[in-house]
Amino acid sequence: MINNLIVSGSPHIHKPESVARIMWTVVISLIPALIAGVIIFGANALWVTLAAVTAAVLTELILGLCTRKKVTVFDGTAVITGILLAFNLPSEVPLWLPIVGAVFSIAIGKAVFGGLGQNIFNPALVGRVFLMASWPKYMTTFTLPFNLDAVTSATPLAALKEGKVLEHISYLDLFLGKHGGCLGEVCILALLLGAALLFIKRYISWHIPFTYILTTGVFVYIFGGDKLFSGDWLFHILSGGLILGAFFMATDYVATPLTARGQLIFGVGCGLLTAVIRLWGGYPEGVSYAILMMNATTPFIDRYTKVRIYGTR
């Protein structure tokens, strides 16, 4: 007779998949952009990222221990939050800035809502707008690429906002990241490489990123020029944090809609808000706020975009 049989409900097999596997893959997908950031802005980019990641992981660990919850540091989500926050900072910020931001991201952006899976806003963006509101000077002082003397420069979007004439920044330079900006957002090529990995692994779908980028592009093309239908849509797609935001932050599972239809609405919403802020708002850049505002609408979108159940109309 066979003894000690395990009895459990069906199903009895499981797909070889886990939260940790997904999250660490996302971490890997961000590495090309980090390498690009270090090449373009120097070792500071690395130190800022490491500071943010360490602070995020330690905050997660300490809060987990204090609240006697299951320790979730090893699932990689805190690492992602740290990296994404750092990617949204200039490379020349003092090192306490990413640390403060990361602590805020994890503690206020995630833990107070109940930890993994509960946050209604993207934690990294919560940290970023907190830093933006508290230390705007640090947050908007950018350095020229490949310039170790840290000469400050404006981002292309900021220059545009101030009405300055853009000096010889080609689309190729924008694509490769040879311009001022946050350390992880400038190199579109590296970001797309990482995004490709997530697509291949089917961890993200096209619904949000493509509608987001398309909507921003179309809106800017229509309204962004001197007259209608003359906006420089390609410039807007390639500059600022749009690519980083569309592929890595607007696709955050937790704070985005569940269904394909909901995700399309979410993407369009992000695209519209980004374009509106960039063209007519007070900030040169609108990606962070656009995503955060759409995060807030997610429960509402979810409620009205249920899937059609078999046998119903």
| C-alpha distances out from residue 43 to 28, 34, 38, 148, 268, Å | 19, 11, 5, 10, 37
Residues of span 176-205 touching other proteins by CB under 8 A: none
Interface residue with other proteins among 108, 144, 214, 258 (CB under 8 A) is 258
In angstroms, what is the minimal distance from the CB of 15 to other proteins? 5
Site for other proteins in 16-35 (CB under 8 A): 17-19, 21-22
CA-closest candidate to residue 90, choices 36, 49, 146, 55: 49
Per CB under 8 A, 311 contacts other proteins: yes
User: Would you count residue 282 as binding other proteins (CB under 8 A)?
Assistant: no
Applying CB under 8 A, the span of 112-120, 146-154, 170-178, 238-246 interacting with other proteins comes to 112-120
Is 68 one of the binding residues for other proteins (CB under 8 A)?
no
229 binds other proteins (CB under 8 A): no
Q: 3-state SS string over 198-261?
A: HHHCCCCCCHHHHHHHHHHHHHHHHHCCCCCCCCCHHHHHHCCCHHHHHHHHCCCCCCCCCCHH
CB-nearer residue toward other proteins: 19 or 73: 19
The token pair at 146 is 């490949």
Quick one: 208 or 290, whose CB is closer to other proteins? 208
Minimum distance between the CB of residue 113 and other proteins, rounded to whole angstroms? 11
Q: How many CB atoms lie within 10 A of CB 38?
A: 17
Using the minimum distance from each CB to other proteins, give the nearer residue, 85 or 116: 116
What are the helix (H) ranges across 42-112?
Answer: 43-66, 77-87, 96-107
Q: Name the token pair of 85.
A: 């926050």
Write the CB contacts of 272 (distance below 8 Å, at least 6 apart in sequence): 215, 216, 219, 290
State the minimum distance, in angstroms, from the CB of residue 288 to other proteins. Answer: 21
Is 61 among the residues that bind other proteins (CB under 8 A)?
no
Verify binding: residue 5, other proteins, rule CB under 8 A: yes
| Part in contact with other proteins (CB under 8 A); list of ranges 139-147, 162-170, 191-199, 300-308 | 300-308
Q: Which residues contact 40 (CB under 8 A, 6 or more apart)?
A: 145, 146, 177, 178, 183, 186, 187
Identify which of residues 21 and 164 has a Cβ nearer to other proteins in the complex. 21
**Cα–Cα distance, 201 to 94 (Å, whole number):** 36
Contact flag: residue 164 with other proteins (CB under 8 A): no
Binding site for other proteins (CB under 8 A): 1-2, 4-15, 17-19, 21-22, 72, 75, 115-118, 253-254, 256, 258-259, 302, 306-312
